[in-house]
Structure 1
């Protein structure tokens, strides 16, 4: 194969790869938009359950010391109301997903 044919083949493959990357980019943008819309569709505050730190440790199956370590590491980010940690369920699910993606759980 001469150099000219090789270069044309290489250019064709680069163009196909570019088309695939553009398609992946468009899919990612669509996914981001879907996720943003999903976040907006939360229940009204009065219908959302607040979890205590005890309920969180039971739900996650972790000890109090592990719970405190996860708060220090900012894996869990509680709201502090009247001196007690509280969580919305979707915040716990989001924290678990972040930990899973980082390989921590």
Structure 2
């Protein structure tokens, strides 16, 4: 019965993660939320390489570290986009 309890615990944790993500992304489906690489984010925000690195270091941009390079979800960038518009970058 120990393996069954471990499996149920794992399934419960997966369910909690999925529920959290659906709340976090709101009405955006996972497939509709595009992933952007580091260069696309810099172009989208109108920032330089050094600004990008500084924002990641400060925690303002949170990339997903993947083997093919860092990826960002576009839905996680609206506050930084608003700041870029305020500063006249885009």
Question: TM class, shorter-chain normalised?
Answer: 0.5 to 0.7
More helix by share: 1
Task: List alignment gaps of at least 5 residues for structure 2.
Answer: 1-22
The runs of at least 4 consecutive aligned structure 1 residues that moved more than 6 Å come to: none
Structure with bigger RCO (C-alpha 8 Å, 6+ apart):
2
Greater C-alpha radius of gyration: 1
SS at match of 1:67: helix
Q: 2:70 aligns with which of 65, 69, 85?
A: 85
CA RMSD of aligned residues (A): 2.4
Return the TM-score normalized by structure 2. 0.56
Task: List alignment gaps of at least 5 residues for structure 1.
Answer: 1-37
Return the TM-score normalized by structure 1. 0.49
| 8 Å Cα contact 2:37/2:72 also seen in 1 | yes
